Amino acid sequence: MVLGISFQASAQEATIVGTVTDPSGSVIANAKITAKNVETGLVHTITTNEAGQYVLPDLHIGHYDVKVEATGFKAAEQKGIVLQVGDRARVDFQMQVGGATETVTVEAAPIRVQTDTGEVSNVITDLQVSQIAVNGRSIYQLAALAPGASSQINNYVNTPVGGDANVEFNGIRQNHNIYLLDGGEDDDRGGAGGMSIAPSSDAIAEFRALTSNYSADFGLSSAATMTMVLKSGTQTLHASAWEFNRNDAFDARNFFNPTTKVGGAPNPAAELRLNVFGFNVGGPVTFGHLYNLDKKKTFFFYNMEWRRLIQGNISSGQQVPDPATYPGVNGANFGTTAITVPTQSQVASSVLFRNCPGGVAPANIAQGQPFPNNTIPSCMIDPNASTLLTAGIFPKPTNGNKFFGSANVPTNLKEEIVRIDHNFTSKFSVFGHFVAEQVSQGFATSQWSGDNVPTVGDTFGNPSYSGVIHTTYTINPTLINEVAFNYNGNRINIIPFAAQGLKSLGLPTGYISTNSRLFTGPNNMSRIPNIDLKGSTGTQFEIASWPWKNKADDYQIRDDVSWTKGVHQLKMGGSWAIYKKVQDLFGTTQGAFNFNGLFTGNDFADFLLGTANGYNELAVQDHGYWNNVSWAAYVQDNWRVSHRLTLNLGLRWDGVPHTYEANNRMGNFYPALYDPAKAATFNNNGTICAGPPNDNCSAPSPGLGTSPNSILAGIPLYLNGIGIPGQNGVPKGLVNNHWAAFGPRLGFAYDMTGAGKTVVRGGFGIMYERIQGNDMYDAGPNIPFSLSVNTPGPVEMDNPKIALASGTAATFPINPASITGLDSKSYKLPRSSQWSLGVQRSLSAKTVLSLTYVGNTNRYQSYRTQTNLPPQSDLPALINGANFNTAPGLLYSGFNSIVMSTNQANSHYHGLQADLNSQVGKDLQLRAFYTYSRAIDSAADSRGPGGADLSQTTDPYLGWRYDIGPSGFDRTHNASVNFIYDIPLLRNSASRLVKSTVGGWQISGIVTMESGVPVDIHVGGIQSSNGLPNASNRPNLVGKITHPNAVQSGDHVIQYIDPTVFAAPTMGSWGNLGHYAVRGPGRDNWNLSLFKSFTFSESRGSRFELRLETFNTWNHTQFNGVNNTVTFDKTGTRVVNNFGQFNSAFDPRILQLGGKIYF
């Protein structure tokens, strides 16, 4: 999914500032400053003002030589100044008395302290991008090389929306990050905070991560702003080509993919084939003497890359139904597992024994009593259950009662990038880029669902595009205007396919489909419904939402002005953007059955009986047309108060009205519109009264209406409390817009000695985060324009219109609708208040040490909560199967689940961040980070596998207060070192042969050591939600949490959490275990690489580079997943399953071979 509108300033540029003085320290006015870009030959000229100061803004990144000339003084020059993206580099001169023909030249220090800004940021240099190997050549892994970053990335190929963007900064949710490409937004808002375009690392010059206190020209991101810059052409024609290859034949085994199965049978390795290959070329556009003779006018850069991946997706111990319990001639025998015949009050005998001779119970079967010999008679087996098992919806276990295995899924990507830079005059220039990326990615399980078995997968098609046109006009040496137009868009198409033994996605032969759905209509694809076993087994087969597609287009325009006035460098600007999205509604059009063991004590036994504790179905998969129009304005003043003190003063305004549906085809529940006098009346089976002769109804229920959607015409709906945009005061975007989003930005840098060696830096800022579009998209299936129905209590799998308790159904049930909506009209923008204070010290000309305290508090963070609640005293009855819809005292009678997005959650972060940046001699580049931090929140960072910013409260009665605890990405300790070492051996040999063959070796690597992230423990079984829809529960803690790390005999599992210290909460209550109360395992990972370079021409930089790259070099098993659901039966006894066991691990040792040739 995509939602992204950026109002960013010229994020790809840099600035040089400085002061010119004479030997006594007095300032020199009207000195001529000349800055030459070494790569392009372009020259920028300015004179110092009356304070002896100068500013050269909006410079392209690269290497510069800066020269100063003044009458009566020797010329002075600093060479080799490196400008990185977003830099504000200080280059001061102290001129010597002498003739103008004399020049004093010095080499610039390669690493400088920041004397002119209080922002907290980190640059990934061109050398790190090109020479530090990251698994899958992932940009996200490079982004994680920053203090304050917390990452759970697991070595995927570099892809956009389907990739792994799991990097959080300074304790803020990952989807509050924003990515910029040449200043234009490259962000997939609504899709877990990833990129729309995942550019080739060979096309990236460098990028900067702005993580706190950044200036007012950056907005709509409260976490990190990642500013990536594409490479540009230079005065010299350069080209390169590369190929990288990975193959499982060279790799170690994942812990969960052992060489043998139980019993000694060979177990195939998870397949892995990765090929990344491509080329680029860049240089001047010239036609001899006809055009661009001096090669300073037009430049081009073109990059083409293909990425091909086949990767075995490993199922690491998912419990699945035991084939020994599959039905046979004599029924289904559960061995020693006790199962109970459902009671008469739970399941009517007419339903339970409908297929038995005479429609009566077999001999020795009594409702409410144990099944004799724990065997379900054949006549009680639901025909659809038997048919689906034969079709292969569940994989067979490979190790005990668990499925270990791998499914090979392909990913194919083709990416083209072109960038053009053109200088019309010395005052007017333009650059632009166009990127086209085609992605086809396979998934072993159904994407964006709870599917956890690889019997159904899907193909994820994702073409994406990016375009930028950026103009710069120098009105005079102190006044510059920039205008930019940006486009960012993509498409998503998800198509399911059968896998791992499943014969077909269609309903298998023998499936009783006459009454298998609530609705008939254009979305009846005759597909297998979702089958979720949510008790002791926990197996979930989910497909019913697909196929699915969306289309997103984002257009942005902005204007920025830079004005230098005395000691003030002012920057101000404004922007406008429109975002358009067309997206299919999410929902299970083919139906979704839930089985949790309510009736028999075992979820699989419930499935075999066809007794579902719940059913959901979307009437029609409609689509919505969503728009968002936004504005922004800012002013920023970088004020050089003295030669020691610089203040960064800014103010930003973001006008961010809520996303709206263009045709007002949205419905939302508003408590103020609900009339208790029109509370629903019900049939005996829990459906809403449509009028006689239905059950006990003497008249239709009050509050009924009909849908404006022609597809749903004639279906009565309960609309009491439902609001539609434009009616009854309901705003266009369902909530009121908040326009007072003013964010001050304050920063300072104080040079303690005046020598540029020790600088104290700090700042404070307020950032606003645009509310994610998913709160609107997920409300699309609401009545009255769409209809997603949860059946009123337990139903029969053969016919979900039949209530189990009564065995009857209404002619057409008016089911209480479920609502996913927005809490109220006073929906505020998420706000982040951030601060920092630190010191930077230059230990030498090539080493800088930084120590910084970074903190933030984040308010109005979004989450979801169940608001349609009965009294808590009703919960035990609901757990035991009472009808939720007719529960006495239900707050909003006539509705089932009402899950509302609200923004009352908060989070806090405090971190001490150390950063050492050093160049040791000529051979070693070293960067080391350490962060000691604590992140706390009251709502998790995502709503599920998609990570889309709308988590749900656990206890809806207590709300967010029950969920206060460590953030899901909190790491107490996080240390990382990356380095590049050119081995000097024989590098300078007089023999070209010796130098070429024996010299030219390089070692590089990334070492990461970090403590684990927290694990949230949940309750499974009938107390998993305490009888409420869309809620969850945690257990009671009755002892000390320990980690036995015990290897179970005969099984390839490790028990990480002692399960005996957890107990079932009393019926209708929530457990006392804290939110994220268990700490997961830490990580110690080394990625080391060895390069050999064969030089053809030193003057032109022509060479061939052979690479051996290793990831998890020492092959340490690094667990990253724990089964976190502890299940209890109806008596409160803990069910022995795989709770507390590790169920996934990061990649084992991976070898990657590569070759690159440079011309």
pLDDT of 1029 strictly over 50: yes
Last residue in a domain, options 85, 107, 129: 107
- Tell me the residue range of the domain where 42 lies: 13-107
Q: Can you tell me the mean pLDDT for 606-629?
A: 88
- Of the chain, the percentage scoring pLDDT greater than 70 comes to 93
Question: By the 8 A CB rule, do 307 and 276 touch?
Answer: yes
pLDDT score for 588: 82
As a residue count, the chain comes to 1159
pLDDT score for 915: 97
Three-class DSSP category at 667:
coil
Three-class DSSP category at 629:
strand
pLDDT of 3 strictly over 70: no
pLDDT score for 315: 65
CB atoms within 10 A of CB 266: 8
Print the SS3 string covering 74-108.
Answer: CEEEEEEEEECCCCEEECCEECCECCCCCEEEEEC
pLDDT of 7 strictly over 70: no
Backbone conformation region of residue 944, classed left if phi is above 0, alpha if psi is from -120 to 50, else beta: left
pLDDT of 195 strictly over 80: yes
Q: What is the rounded distance in angstroms from the CA atom of residue 375 to the CA atom of residue 382? A: 14
Residue whose structure tokens are 């070099």: 1113
Q: What is the CA radius of gyration of the chain?
A: 32
- Select from 690, 699, 687, 836 the least CA-distant residue to 763: 836
- Select from 263, 246, 260, 244 the least CA-distant residue to 312: 246
Q: What is the rounded distance in angstroms from the CA atom of residue 845 to the CA atom of residue 1017? A: 51
- Select from 482, 366, 469, 476 the least CA-distant residue to 420: 469
Q: What is the rounded distance in angstroms from the CA atom of residue 860 to the CA atom of residue 614? A: 33
Highest mean pLDDT among 366-380, 522-536, 616-630, 1116-1130: 366-380
Q: What is the rounded distance in angstroms from the CA atom of residue 153 to the CA atom of residue 135? A: 10
pLDDT score for 271: 81
Q: What is the rounded distance in angstroms from the CA atom of residue 6 to the CA atom of residue 2? A: 13
In a domain, 343, yes or no: yes
Give the DSSP per-residue string, 295-315: S-SEEEEEEEEEEEEEEEEEE
Three-class DSSP category at 383:
helix
Question: By the 8 A CB rule, do 132 and 915 touch?
Answer: no
Of the listed ranges 6-15, 188-197, 236-245, the least confidently predicted one is: 6-15
Q: What is the rounded distance in angstroms from the CA atom of residue 347 to the CA atom of residue 350? A: 8
Q: What is the rounded distance in angstroms from the CA atom of residue 473 to the CA atom of residue 476? A: 9
Convert the pLDDT of each residue in 66-113 to its tens digit: 999 998 888 999 998 998 888 888 999 998 888 766 777 777 777 889
Query: Hey, CA dihedral for 311, 315, 320, 326, is it positive or negative?
Result: positive
- Select from 549, 277, 270 the least CA-distant residue to 412: 277
Of the listed ranges 200-214, 603-617, 948-962, 1031-1045, the least confidently predicted one is: 948-962
Q: What is the rounded distance in angstroms from the CA atom of residue 393 to the CA atom of residue 540? A: 10
pLDDT score for 760: 98
pLDDT score for 1045: 77
Angle at 479 between CA 637 and CA 14, to 5 degrees: 65
In a domain, 712, yes or no: no
Q: Which pair of structure tokens corresponds to residue 733?
A: 């975007």
Q: What is the rounded distance in angstroms from the CA atom of residue 423 to the CA atom of residue 275? A: 38
The average confidence (pLDDT) of the chain is 87
In a domain, 83, yes or no: yes
Q: Based on the structure, what is the number of domains in the chain?
A: 2
CB atoms within 10 A of CB 654: 22
Q: What is the rounded distance in angstroms from the CA atom of residue 690 to the CA atom of residue 705? A: 11
Q: Which pair of structure tokens corresponds to residue 708?
A: 């404006």
CB atoms within 10 A of CB 293: 12
CA dihedral 518, 522, 526, 532 (to 10 degrees): -50
First vs last C-alpha separation in the chain: 40
- Select from 1127, 880, 1123 the least CA-distant residue to 256: 1123
In a domain, 433, yes or no: no
Q: Would you place residue 133 in the very low, low, confident or very high pLDDT band (cuts 50, 70, 90)?
A: confident
pLDDT score for 942: 43
pLDDT score for 6: 36
Q: What is the rounded distance in angstroms from the CA atom of residue 608 to the CA atom of residue 598? A: 13
Q: What is the rounded distance in angstroms from the CA atom of residue 1121 to the CA atom of residue 1141? A: 9
Q: What is the rounded distance in angstroms from the CA atom of residue 784 to the CA atom of residue 620? A: 12
| Cis bond before residue 547 (omega within 30° of 0) | yes
pLDDT of 1097 strictly over 50: yes
Question: By the 8 A CB rule, do 907 and 935 touch?
Answer: yes
pLDDT score for 1076: 92
Q: What is the rounded distance in angstroms from the CA atom of residue 1047 to the CA atom of residue 820? A: 44
Phi, psi of 671, deg, nearest 5: -55, -35
Q: What is the rounded distance in angstroms from the CA atom of residue 205 to the CA atom of residue 229? A: 6
Q: What is the rounded distance in angstroms from the CA atom of residue 857 to the CA atom of residue 837? A: 15
In a domain, 980, yes or no: no
pLDDT score for 712: 78
pLDDT score for 511: 86
Q: Which pair of structure tokens corresponds to residue 386?
A: 């038997």
- Select from 446, 335, 315, 340 the least CA-distant residue to 1022: 340
Can you list the pairs that 263-267 forms with residues at least 24 positions away whose Cβ atoms lie under 8 Å? 267/398, 267/404
Exposure b/e, 680-714, CB count within 10 A at least 16 = b? bbbbbbbbbbbeeebbebeebbebbeebebebbee
Q: Would you place residue 1 in the very low, low, confident or very high pLDDT band (cuts 50, 70, 90)?
A: very low
In a domain, 430, yes or no: no
Instruction: Provide the residue type at 1078 as one letter.
Output: V
Strands 93-94 vs 13-21: parallel, antiparallel or unpaired: parallel
Q: What is the DSSP letter of 370?
A: B
pLDDT score for 1051: 55
Last residue in a domain, options 61, 87, 107: 107
Give the DSSP per-residue string, 461-526: E--EEEEEEEEEEEEETTEEEEEEEEEEEEEEEEEEEE-TT---SBPPTT---TTSSS--STT---
The CATH number of whichever domain residue 52 belongs to comes to 2.60.40.1120
Q: Can you tell me the mean pLDDT for 634-663?
A: 94
Q: Can you tell me the mean pLDDT for 996-1024?
A: 89
- Of the chain, the percentage scoring pLDDT greater than 90 comes to 49
Three-class DSSP category at 145:
coil
- Residues with Cβ within 8 Å of residue 602, at least 6 apart in sequence: 334, 337, 339, 535, 536, 537
More confident residue, 1101 or 45: 45
Instruction: Provide the residue type at 171 as one letter.
Output: G
Query: Hey, CA dihedral for 351, 354, 359, 364, is it positive or negative?
Result: negative
- Select from 891, 898, 884 the least CA-distant residue to 669: 898
In a domain, 300, yes or no: no
pLDDT of 778 strictly over 60: yes
Q: Which pair of structure tokens corresponds to residue 978?
A: 């990356």
pLDDT score for 163: 53
- Select from 1056, 1062, 1008 the least CA-distant residue to 1033: 1062
Q: What is the DSSP letter of 710?
A: G
Instruction: Provide the residue type at 213 as one letter.
Output: N
Convert the pLDDT of each residue in 232-243 to its tens digit: 999 999 999 999
- Select from 1062, 1131, 1048, 1118 the least CA-distant residue to 401: 1048
Secondary structure percentages of the chain, helix, strand, coil, to 5? 10, 45, 50
Give the DSSP per-residue string, 475-491: EETTEEEEEEEEEEEEE
Angle at 1081 between CA 1078 and CA 1087, to 5 degrees: 155
Q: What is the rounded distance in angstroms from the CA atom of residue 449 to the CA atom of residue 544? A: 10
Q: Would you place residue 553 in the very low, low, confident or very high pLDDT band (cuts 50, 70, 90)?
A: very high
In a domain, 30, yes or no: yes
CB atoms within 10 A of CB 47: 16
Q: Would you place residue 1018 in the very low, low, confident or very high pLDDT band (cuts 50, 70, 90)?
A: very high
